[in-house]
Structure 1
Amino acid sequence: MQITFLGTSSGVPTRSRNVSSIALRLPQRAEVWLLDCGEGTQHQVLHSEIKISQITRIFITHMHGDHIFGLMGLLASCGLAGNPNRIDIYGPPGLDDYLRACGRYSQTHFSYPIKVHTVQPGLLFEDEEFRVRCGPLKHRVPAFGYRIEEKDRPGHFDADQAAALGIPFGPLYGKLKRGEQITLPDGRKVQGRDLCGPTQVGRKLAYCTDTIYCDEAVELAAGVDVLIHEATFAHQDAALAYQRLHSTSTMAAQVALAAQVQQLIMTHFSPRYAPGNALELGDLLAEARAIFPHTEMAYDFLTYEISRHPNTGGDRRGTAALADLTHR
């Protein structure tokens, strides 16, 4: 599970940062899921390792332009790229009407099916590997955060040990791999869990933007491996944050601390903190780390790999949940 930041600025793009979009690569199923799709997202994809043809789901937090203005262009490009699959789009009320109006006035017709899901707090999607939930945030328009959970997997099955016990190869191995108990012809009972290594705990990601500090964000992010949270303003500009219903760096850190996450990555930064100004982004990072040390600051094309980890029954902080940062 790999995160790629395609845009990390708030409101407007800058020379070094595009507006909001994040790609989540799921190599085990050759899929890419997008979180928000600000203007220019498809250009950012072209400069990354993301394959536009693999995009299958897009999650939109709210209807402000810096989070949706790239959606129509990207969807049109997906059709030209020969995307053979349906794309499911999740977002707040009005998103379907917006896309229909864009298509009507631009005479854009898609060569593949698109399904728009109007979200409500709770479970949005679930299959054998993943579940996705959303929760309300506090912003000037209806806004939602998303939580993506990978389901736990059984530990490695010891086939050699099974053979040593005289268990015939076949359907019984499948039951043992699932942790079930079997009974052999001679009456012996074998517990599948005794032949499997530690459970591989599923990875968990939460994405909260745009929002001011709220209990709903803490609930949504509880215990995740990675929390991606907006940090539009520095702490000393908290008055602006309250006025515009955005977060400061310290608010993002407080959410991470209260939710007991493993790693916080801040994004959605105001251009007012560009290099050479009285306050710079390094100051926001220092503010956040004073509250929550496991904090990083996103930049465009930052990738973050979340590795699976065994269930050791203890605190995972700072060990298996950590990911590798690489700068292209």
Structure 2
Amino acid sequence: MQVTFLGTSSGVPTRQRNVSSLAVRLPQRSELWLLDCGEATQHQLLRSPLRVSQLRRIFITHMHGDHVFGLPGLLASLGMAGASTGLDLYGPPPLQNFVESALRFSSTRLSYPLRFHVNVPPPEGHVLFEDDDLVVDSRPLRHRIPASGFRIGQKPRAGRFDVEKARALGIPPGPLYGRLKKGETVSVGGRTIAGSSLCGPPRLGVSLVYATDTVFCDAAVDLARGADLLVHEATFAHRDGEMALQRLHSTTTMAAQVALAAGVGRLALTHFSPRYMPGQAIGPDDLLAEARAIFPATVMAKDFLTLELASKSDESGLERPRPEPFPQHSLTS
């Protein structure tokens, strides 16, 4: 699972940061998912190595413009390019009316179907999507309008199949290997062989949690518990905590407290107010330092940063640099 930040500013874009959108690439199924779709998200996709033709699902946290204004344009462009066979959209009840109204009043007809899924999670949360490999949970967060957080979790995978052991037992390569990998019991030469005896322990899947927009709340902690990566908004610096409480956004320290309480593997801060641009009294390095004082395993997201979530049984780390298609801004620029 690869996570690419397409927009990390709050409210309005800046020269360095676009507004909210997070791309989740699922290489094992050749799919791309989006979490939020702020203005100019389609431009960000064009500037990235991501393949828009793989876009299958879009999850919207809430209906504020910096999280949805890019959706009509992206959908229209996909239609004109013939780059989509259909999309599933998940979001609050107004989402369908917003999208269909924008398309209708702009006389835009799509060449592919849109499937809308209304997301109104109960306080304890619910499963929004599930298949054989992935499950998406959603919980209501605490913001000025109804807003939800998402957790994308990969289900445990079968343990590694010991080919050498299978050969030593005289099991011929072919369809039997596939059945044994699934843990089935097969008969070979009058012997009964359990697939579990040839497979290592199950490999735990990875999990990503996306929590924006919200002030600190227990729901975010519960949603993020034990996740590999928590992407959490940090609109304000710690000194502006009163403003954060008034506007129901989070500070850097609130995000770090969620990560600490939930026991996540890594925290990525996003959704920064433009008031903390470089050269101001408080800048990006200060925001990062505030969060790291509470939760050291914190990174500051920037547009086009890609993080890779590896299985807990793999030896690779969480973060792996990706080729950059054009000059990038550093975390402090």
TM bracket, shorter-chain basis = over 0.9
Percent of residue pairs bearing the same amino acid type:
59
The AA in structure 2 aligned to 1:165 is L
Cα RMSD (Å): 1.7
The answer as to 2:310 corresponding to 1:291 is no
CA 1:169 to 1:53, structure 2 compared with 1: closer, same or farther past 3 Å? Answer: closer
Find the counterpart in structure 1 of residue 111 from structure 2: 111
Q: CA deviation at 1:282?
A: 1.1
The answer as to 2:92 corresponding to 1:79 is no
The answer as to 2:157 corresponding to 1:161 is no
Find the counterpart in structure 1 of residue 330 from structure 2: none
Q: CA deviation at 1:183?
A: 5.0
Conserved? CA contact 2:306–2:319, under 8 Å: no
The AA in structure 1 aligned to 2:140 is P
Find the counterpart in structure 1 of residue 180 from structure 2: 176
The AA in structure 2 aligned to 1:18 is N
The answer as to 2:284 corresponding to 1:264 is no
Structure 1: runs of 5 or more not aligned: 312-318
Q: CA deviation at 1:300?
A: 0.6
In structure 2, distance between residues paired with 1:83 and 1:126: 25
CA 1:214 to 1:14, structure 2 compared with 1: closer, same or farther past 3 Å? Answer: same
Query: Which one of 282, 285, 305 corresponds to residue 282 of structure 1?
Result: 285
In structure 2, distance between residues paired with 1:170 and 1:46: 42
In structure 1, distance between residues paired with 2:147 and 2:302: 23
> Normalising by the residue count of structure 1, what TM-score does the alignment of the two structures yield?
0.93
Conserved? CA contact 1:226–1:263, under 8 Å: yes
In structure 1, distance between residues paired with 2:56 and 2:81: 13
Find the counterpart in structure 1 of residue 320 from structure 2: 324
Conserved? CA contact 1:309–1:321, under 8 Å: no
In structure 1, distance between residues paired with 2:120 and 2:46: 32
Find the counterpart in structure 2 of residue 14 from structure 1: 14
Conserved? CA contact 2:4–2:22, under 8 Å: yes
Conserved? CA contact 1:198–1:310, under 8 Å: no
The Cα offsets for residues 119-142 of structure 1, whole Å up to 9 and x where unpaired, read as: 132111111211111110000000
Find the counterpart in structure 1 of residue 3 from structure 2: 3
In structure 2, distance between residues paired with 1:309 and 1:199: 11
Conserved? CA contact 2:8–2:301, under 8 Å: yes
Query: Which one of 124, 132, 137 corresponds to residue 128 of structure 2?
Result: 124
The answer as to 2:49 corresponding to 1:53 is no
In structure 1, distance between residues paired with 2:140 and 2:247: 17
> Normalising by the residue count of structure 2, what TM-score does the alignment of the two structures yield?
0.92
Conserved? CA contact 1:199–1:310, under 8 Å: no
In structure 2, distance between residues paired with 1:225 and 1:164: 38
